[in-house]
Amino acid sequence: MDEPCVLIVSAMDDVTADLVIQKLNARAVPVVRLDPGDFPATVVVNAALDADGLGGSVRTATRTVGLGRVRSVYWRRPSAYAATEGLAEQDARWCLDQARYGLGGVLGALPGARYVNHPWRNRDAEYKPAQLATAARCGLTIPPTLVTNDVEQARQFARDHGPVVYKPVRNSDYPGQDADGLTVWVEEVSPSDIGAGVAHTIHLFQERVNKVADVRLTVVDDALFAVRIDGASGLDWRRDYDTLSYTLIETPSEVAKGARAYLDAFGLVFGAFDFGLDDRGRWWMYECNPNGQWAWFPDPITDRIAVALADQLHHSGRRHDC
């Protein structure tokens, strides 16, 4: 493919990426979709490195793209790297590491491409303690928070700041006895609920926000889409999708300024911020997912975010954001 193209790095069943691809197709912008999980079965890499930098190509099952012809990259939700079937376990692990650092290194070094977001910047921005520390530094309001494995300190924090909630620092896979994945929800805890298990690993405790609604603020460069979420029956609105309502609202200027500073601090173009809105109209930031979902909103909201992302990928210029 000789014409500059947009590279979409995501699984083939990612409907969120589909929406952005539809917008780019409507503009006749060439798009190549690549899932690292398809390597090496249906992806072939020929990356050449010399005095002129990185060149060569990547071939998928349907397309071939010159590495120097990628104008922008939408790094969405790629599948996990895979190994050729039939390899011994030790060999498979070695091959996975080689693929991650080899193909991953190539895809992270495309000359002149604009990344939304660069995968290494996503990685840096995934750590919740770093998120909260950066948010406070950028002028966003955060609830008092304790990250600890000290049982007595956790109980004391709950006494001093109650009501207090517990939340995981990362939404890791947690298989149940039947092998189905379990979700660790945000839950309110009292000092008596905090047991010796806290000492086994890091736990995050946070003063509960006396909220009247939640807000998901999706930021795409300078475009902000704040959606008020009403209808949640408890602390974690993800448990109540069937009863939720969504309203596009204005973002207060101080929140917009802080969110933009936050993304700049991590080198991000895109971020999905979660806030609690209290009865005084104050926005309390909980976290920012550097690759958060947005396509479950009603179509008018989803469409605007898809357009903003397509704008970033289409009118990207030639810059290297890494």
Extended strands (E) in 35-101: 44-50, 53-59, 64-66, 70-75
Angle at 68 between CA 315 and CA 313, to 5 degrees: 20
Averaged pLDDT, 163-191: 79
User: How far is residue 271 CA from its own chain's centroid?
Assistant: 7
Angle at 42 between CA 293 and CA 8, to 5 degrees: 30
Averaged pLDDT, 30-38: 96
Averaged pLDDT, 14-31: 97
pLDDT score, position 175: 65
Q: Note the pLDDT tens digit of each residue in 96-150.
A: 999 999 999 999 999 989 999 999 999 999 999 999 999 999 999 999 999 999 9
CA atoms within a 13 Å half-sphere pointing along the CA-CB vector of 171: 10
Tokens of 26: 């409507």
Q: Scan for tokens 């998901």, then name that residue.
A: 216
Strand arrangement, sheet containing 64-66 = 44-50, 53-59, 64-66
Which of 162, 222, 220, 234 has the alpha carbon at shortest distance from 191?
Answer: 162
CA–CA separation, 225 and 308 (whole Å): 10
Averaged pLDDT, 249-276: 98
Phi, psi of 159 (to 5 degrees): -70, -40
**SS3 letters across 171-213:** CCCCECCCCCECCCCCEEECHHHCCHHHHHCCEEEEECCCEEE
Which of the residue ranges 46-50, 72-76, 260-264, 315-319 would you say has the lowest mean pLDDT? 315-319
pLDDT score, position 321: 40
- Reply yes or no on whether the pLDDT at 5 is more than 50: yes
pLDDT score, position 81: 93
Averaged pLDDT, 252-276: 98
Q: Which residues pair with 228 in a beta bridge?
A: 215, 247
pLDDT score, position 180: 64
Average pLDDT over the chain reads 93
Which of 74, 124, 77 has the alpha carbon at shortest distance from 262?
Answer: 124
CA–CA separation, 20 and 294 (whole Å): 12
Residue that wins the pLDDT comparison between 283 and 171: 283
Q: Which residues pair with 271 in a beta bridge?
A: 219
Long-range contacts of 24-30 (CB under 8 A, 24+ apart): 24/310, 24/313, 24/314, 27/310, 27/314, 29/5, 29/310, 29/313, 29/314, 30/1, 30/3, 30/4, 30/5, 30/6
Q: Directed axis angle between helix 128-137 and helix 253-266, to 10°?
A: 130
pLDDT score, position 318: 45
Averaged pLDDT, 168-197: 80
Q: Note the pLDDT tens digit of each residue in 73-99.
A: 999 999 999 999 999 999 999 999 999
- Reply yes or no on whether the pLDDT at 320 is more than 50: no
Mapped onto helix, strand or coil, the DSSP state of residue 1 is coil
Which of the residue ranges 86-90, 216-220, 318-322 would you say has the lowest mean pLDDT? 318-322
pLDDT score, position 101: 96
Q: Directed axis angle between helix 15-26 and helix 299-314, to 10°?
A: 60
Tokens of 83: 């190994």
Read off the pTM.
0.91
Angle at 100 between CA 53 and CA 96, to 5 degrees: 140
